């Protein structure tokens, strides 16, 4: 809604009005926006203001423009819900990796591609969480995960070399039924606690390319630390997740 006392710049008012229609479903995914001339007539303004408004929506990832055809409401990506229940032992102990089990429970298809298996210097944020010196050699499993065929996250897991000696399957491309968690527990290391840390930021150009992100789409930066029953960090996972393909949902008891 706009009025004579609305202090927002005209292009912002137009963009907000179109965004409201998209969010209410009046403009459906895949539907073409009115032409610039039609929008100018609707908002009783010049073409520059409506062109700038549509460009704002494009930068925010709400519309896409096709040369010679016009602008369209962007198709909504399939989101994967991240909740604490995905770490239930009953899921991955039953033979399914956390990613596959979580996606299947939501009725969507997920898979992953191994990007690298290698001994690498520990990045500072990983080293700090493992309690080692930055640059110390660690084992890295770098994957790209896909939801319904579209990349949704770049997930890199790090382990100390002494752990990998105890759990050699972590060096394999296929860690077997239940994934890495199952192999670690088979080695007699009981997993007990998980800490997740989230940040939202804009992606690097490489992340934009690897995740096929529409312009203006942020990413969720996730660090997950898995601890054993003695409180020792066992695995550090750093995931960069497409912001338009993730929904975090956690329900828990209020601590005393």
pLDDT for residue 132 is more than 50 = yes
Q: How far apart, in Å, are the Cα atoms of 191 and each of 65, 160, 178, 222?
A: 48, 16, 14, 19
Name every residue whose Cβ is closer than 8 Å to that of residue 48 and which is 6 or more positions away in sequence: none
Could you tell me which residues come within 8 angstroms of residue 186 by beta carbon, excluding any fewer than 6 positions away? Answer: 167
Q: What is the length of the chain?
A: 256
State the pairing for strand pair 246-248/80-82.
parallel
Average pLDDT, the chain: 87
**Residue recorded with tokens 């949704």:** 152
**Which conformational region is residue 84 in: left (phi greater than 0), alpha (psi within -120 to 50 degrees), or beta?**
alpha
Give whole-number Cα distances, 179 to 56, 132, 172, 184, in Å. Answer: 42, 25, 11, 9
Interhelix angle 47-59/36-43, rounded to 10 degrees, is 110
Q: Where, residue-wise, is CATH 1.10.10.10 in the chain?
A: 10-73
pLDDT at 170: 96
Nearest to 156 by CA among 204, 118, 205: 118
Residues 128-154 have a mean pLDDT of 94
Return the pLDDT at 1.
44
Grade residue 77 by pLDDT with cuts at 50, 70 and 90. Answer: low
Q: Which CATH architecture has domain 80-248?
A: 3-Layer(aba) Sandwich (3.40)
pTM of the model: 0.76
Strands 70-73 and 80-82: unpaired
* Annotation: CATH topology of 10-73: Arc Repressor Mutant, subunit A (1.10.10)
Task: Kindly report which listed range (91-100, 136-145, 218-227) carries the lowest average pLDDT score.
Answer: 91-100
Question: How many whole angstroms separate alpha carbon 68 and alpha carbon 105?
Answer: 42
Q: Where in the chain is the domain with CATH 3.40.1410.10?
A: 80-248
Question: In the predicted model, is pLDDT for residue 4 greater than 80?
Answer: no
Mean pLDDT over residues 21-25, rounded? Answer: 87
The pLDDT of 149-165, averaged and rounded, is 95
């Amino acid at each position: 809604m706009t009025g004579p006392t609305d202090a927002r710049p005209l292009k912002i008012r137009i963009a907000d009005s179109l965004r409201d229609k998209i969010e209410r479903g009046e403009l459906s995914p895949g539907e073409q926006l009115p032409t610039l001339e039609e929008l100018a007539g609707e908002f009783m303004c010049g073409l520059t203001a409506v062109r700038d408004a549509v460009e704002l929506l494009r930068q925010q990832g709400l519309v896409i423009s096709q040369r010679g055809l016009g602008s369209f409401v962007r198709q909504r990506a399939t989101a994967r819900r991240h909740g604490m229940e995905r770490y239930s032992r009953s899921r991955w102990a039953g033979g399914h990796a956390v990613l596959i089990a979580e996606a299947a429970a939501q009725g969507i298809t997920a898979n992953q591609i191994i990007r690298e298996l290698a001994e690498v210097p520990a990045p500072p944020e990983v080293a700090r969480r493992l309690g080692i010196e930055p640059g110390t050699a660690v084992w890295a499993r770098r994957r790209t995960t896909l939801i319904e065929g579209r990349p949704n996250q770049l997930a890199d897991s790090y382990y100390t070399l002494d752990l990998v000696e105890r759990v050699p399957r972590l060096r394999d491309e296929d860690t077997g039924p239940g994934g890495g968690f199952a192999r670690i527990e088979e080695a007699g290391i009981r997993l007990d606690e998980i800490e997740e840390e989230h940040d939202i930021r804009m992606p690097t150009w490489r992340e934009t390319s690897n995740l096929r992100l529409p312009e203006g789409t942020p990413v969720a930066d996730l660090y997950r630390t898995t601890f054993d029953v003695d409180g020792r960090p066992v695995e550090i996972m750093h995931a960069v997740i497409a912001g338009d393909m993730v929904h975090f949902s956690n329900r828990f008891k209020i601590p005393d």
